[in-house]
Structure 1
Amino acid sequence: MTQTSASGAAPSRALALPALSENRVARFATIMVLYFLQGVPAGLTTVALTAWLAAKGATPVEIGAFVAFALLPWSAKLFNGLLMDRFTFKPMGRRRSWILAAQGLMIATLLVMAALAPTANEIALLSGLCFVLNLCAAFNDVAVDGLAVDIVPNSERTGINSVMFASQSAGIASTSVIAGGLLMSGDITTTALVLAALVAVASVFVGIFRERPGERLTPWSNGTASPECLERQQDAFWPIITGVIRSLFNRHVLLFLAGLAFAQAPFAFAGSVSPTLAVQHLGFSSEGYSNFVAAATLVAAGTALILPVPLVFWLGLSRAVIVQLAGVAILCAAAGLTLPNWQGDTAFMIYDCAIYALSLSGMITLISWAMRICSPAVAATQFALFMASANLAQSIYSANSGFVIEMGGYSATYLFMSVTSLIGLLLCLLARVGDEKLVTNHDD
């Protein structure tokens, strides 16, 4: 029997695949693929290219500036959210048209990179291309996050966040290995073409699922906007802006934004500081460092899948945040204090892997709370505000990481991460993260 949507439109039998809003497996699979694809620009920008530049003699300040500029679009996600909550092609759902457009532009940017083939000496051109690539990924990220807030029940949100970040980590790891190996030959054209093909194939899979029953699969196919889309999609900017502003009048939201920002230092360190420490001081090759990061990222992905859900179940969300952020602070302090006595690269690999894995797990826990306190009507904008705070902090840390190294050495950067993690923990506690009385969205 052909399923009929609430709007009365029945999908074609040939394309009657389950809608994401009604099928848990399709929902998880699609979000996994989309977050895997977000790992492509992240892995290329913060791992493969930084290691390649370090091997070519770029300084910590140059690499920090490259990463900071390339990742800057992630700080503008609030603007992206405003656009998505205001405009969409309603017959295809609230988020799906944005997701497919972002995927297409990501492919186009990689093809342009392949055609221009910038060298390691053309850091400005490389930064510009990576900026555009991350701009596409940031639009995609906001759309996917808005999709998750729209269609994922509260009971699945910690699990879906684990899947999101684990998949993104797998994407970063895969891109690190692929791009790291290809860049060893100096062939950035082949690297970009291979990644473009990867994004294209995955995008085809994403494109076969509707958000809700009865919607269009493509702009030219049959279908109508769902009642949920018509109800939640805003027709003017002002209601969106006022809704988000109202949320900012809540001191707990402001404290949470600040806590997220302070907790980002380990991620910035991984992209901006670790490459020069590993390649220029510990003897890693460019490909060797990319392969190490791939392995460490997979460990982090495994941790993201296994740790957050049972930790929140056993301890509650608030205590889970305490354990994870305090653990990151302790690991960073230990690394900073023992770094002068490191022999070889073993200690670096252990600390780097453990800090990243626990930081990622903690971030998943915090993001699940961010989703809980978002209103569906302005979900893309409100959630983007949370993420923009985190991303802007990462860019600021990356831009200044080289100066921290020059002033205090690599030990100082680890100690800096320890302090910022503790400040982030304190702010999250003051924000009452995990207190269900603060939750305004109880859709199940």
Structure 2
Amino acid sequence: MSTGTGRKGLVLSENRLLRLFTFFFFYFGQGLPVGLTIVAIPAWVAANGGSSANVATLVGVAYLPWSWKFAVAALMDRYSYLPMGRRRGWLIFAQLLMSGGFVGAAVLAPGPQDIDALIMVTFLVMAGAATQDVAVDGLAVDLLPEEEQGTASSFMFGGQFIGRALAAVSSGIGLVTLGPAITFLLFIPVLLAPTLYAVMIREHPGEKRFPWSEGQASAATLAVQTSKWLGWDGLIWVTLKSLLRGASLWFVISQSLLRVAEGMLIPMWPLLAVTFLAMSTEYYTSMVSTLELICAIIALGLGSALTLKLGARWSVVLVCALNIGLVLVLMTAQPVWAQRPFFIALTACWALLTILSSITTNPLRMQLSDKRASATQFTIYNSIANFPVAIGAWTFAWLGGIEDHVRTLTGAAVIFTLAAISFALLRMPRPSPPPEVQPMPA
């Protein structure tokens, strides 16, 4: 595959650097509405006297479209206008949905008391973001060779964290100083940039840019497209068969162990900050947001280097081992980390390891996903990864929580160890040979 610009324009399958930039750019665009709807708008409403119920409703509505991503993914795998590419039409639709939500918000200019209007805006832009997430993930599984998956994952998650952080800060300031109308209006050209980019690129050579343009579906796309729901080669059976393979089930177990352990640290960290260091809510949230942005930038290079040097599987094992080390420091060196500079350093390590966990497991999900059901299977893996976090939070409380933090941390260390062993024993399937692709007739 070429790494130059080539003579065929912006064709993803032909250009490695273009692929990496594309995944960073789309994930950056995806992070913008996330930062606005999950961070800035709830904080704005709360600061202007909004009730806890109103804030909770807005956050719940923001997450709602992400709960049915697997259904959108199945529709995306089954129905696409292939002459424009398997994912590009859905990408354009998702970007337009996000942009339309911001246009509506700029016109309505809802204040912090206009909860119904804010709910509508939140739902529209997050429905677009969730759809875009599915389309980009499917595109990654379809187009990325194995050796690029770790680097691309670094760019994807780094882009999302950067977009989310910048949107949260800028929209938070804008809503207070410029008002909602101007703030939402200023986001529109930023969101239109990835929309126009989605129009300009092509997945494979010879595809149409618009429905009325010249071009045709690529043979590579036709070779993996499912034409029905049921039957041995239907989307449902293909997905189930791939999910129930031994390597897939072992990965789900390994991933679940890792996520349970991570879920135990999520509620513990703010409690450590408040209980042992007397940090205020404002100081703690500002510290974590700043560190997450810095760590996301670091992870762009570090995640790529790890997966290229060690491979995705052993990179996850290393992340688990580093988490064990972090937990042991918390267990045995309280006089040290109870000092604010050392706790900030440990928080930076925790934030970086959290991002690296996503970066290093992402290529494994890609490799296990059948290209015929790539969006569906990949989305199911992501959905399965969320439930163990809740189990981890419950385990944190069951073991004694912050009141018995040594016992709780011991439990987390044990589970991180089991996760490391499980990933070390994971045997990934050999890459399937690419389907026979015959040149399309002129």
Q: Shorter-chain TM-score category?
A: 0.7 to 0.9
What is the rounded CA distance, in whole Å, between the counterparts of 2:391 and 2:380 in structure 1?
18
Query: AA paired with 1:182?
Result: G
Q: Where does residue 253 of structure 1 map in the other structure?
A: 248
Alignment of 1:287-366 (within 5 A): 292=287, 295-328=290-323, 330-331=325-326, 349-366=344-361
> Partner residue of 2:76?
84
| Aligned-residue offset at 1:103 | 0.3
User: CA–CA distance in 1 between the matches of 2:269 and 2:42?
Assistant: 10
How far is the alpha carbon of 1:78 from its aligned partner?
1.6
Q: 1:373 is matched by which residue type in structure 2? A: L
Cα deviation for residue 364 of structure 1 reads: 0.7
Task: State the Cα distance separating 1:264 from its structure 2 match.
Answer: 4.8
One-letter code of the match for 1:248?
L
Correspondence for 2:36: 44
- The DSSP-based 3-state class of the residue aligned with 1:94 is coil
TM-score, normalising length from structure 1? 0.79
For residues 57-111 of structure 1, the C-alpha deviation after alignment (integer angstroms, 9 at most, x for no partner) is 7788876665354223223222122111100011101000000100000111122
CA shift, 1:40, in A, is: 0.9
Higher mean displacement: 15-24 or 44-53: 44-53
- Give the C-alpha shift of residue 368 in structure 1: 0.8
Larger radius of gyration: 2
Distance 1:341 1:158, change over 3 A: closer
The more displaced of 76-85 and 318-327 is: 318-327
How far residue 215 of structure 1 moved from its aligned partner, in angstroms, is: 0.6
Alignment of 1:27-426 (within 5 A): 27-53=19-45, 55-56=47-48, 66-120=58-112, 126-127=118-119, 129-185=121-177, 187-238=179-230, 239-261=234-256, 263-264=258-259, 282-283=279-280, 292=287, 295-328=290-323, 330-331=325-326, 349-391=344-386, 423=415, 426=418
Provide the rounded CA distance (Å) in 2 between the counterparts of 1:317 and 1:441.
Answer: 18
Q: Is the 8 A contact 1:78 1:385 kept in 2?
A: yes
Q: In 2, are the aligned partners of 1:328 and 1:358 still within 8 Å (CA)?
A: yes
* Unmatched segments (≥5 aa) in structure 1: 1-12
Structure 2 partner of 1:9: none
Query: Cα–Cα, structure 1 residues 315 and 235, in superposed 2: closer, same or farther, change >3 Å?
Result: closer
Letter of the structure 1 residue corresponding to residue 63 of structure 2: L
Give secondary structure in 2 for the equivalent of 1:184. helix
Partners of 1:253 and 1:362 in 2: how far apart? 18
Amino acid across the alignment from 2:214 = N
CA deviation string 1:288-332 (max 9, x = no partner): 877655532332222322222333444444332122134335546
Unaligned residue ranges in structure 2 (runs of 5+): 1-5, 436-442
State the partner residue of 1:10: none
The superposition leaves residues 404-436 of structure 1 with CA deviations (integer Å, 9 ceiling, x where unpaired) of: 89x988788999798568646635743667534
Between the aligned partners of 1:64 and 1:194, the Cα distance in structure 2 is 26
CA contact (8 A) 2:296 2:352 kept: yes
Q: Any idea what the Cα deviations from partners look like across 1:16-69, whole Å, max 9, x if unmatched?
A: 513110111222222221111111122223333344455457788876665354
Residue identity in the other structure for 1:327: L
In 1, Cα distance between equivalents of 2:16 and 2:249: 33
- Shift in alpha-carbon separation, 1:435–1:254, aligned structure 2, 3 A: closer
Counterpart-to-counterpart distance in 2, 1:421 and 1:127: 40
Give the superposed CA RMSD.
4.2
Greater relative CO (CA pairs within 8 A, separation 6+):
1
Moved more, 332-341 or 108-117: 332-341
Q: CA, structure 1 residues 201+184, in 2 after alignment: closer, same or farther (shift >3 Å)?
A: same
Matched residues, number: 422
Percent identity (aligned) = 30
* Contact preservation (8 Å) 1:113, 1:189: yes
Could you tell me which amino acid in structure 2 is paired with residue 246 of structure 1? K
1:441 aligns with 2:441: no
Is 1:67–1:271's contact at 8 Å kept on the other side of the alignment? no
Q: Report the Cα distance in structure 2 between the residues aligned to 1:204 and 1:443, rounded to whole angstroms.
A: 31
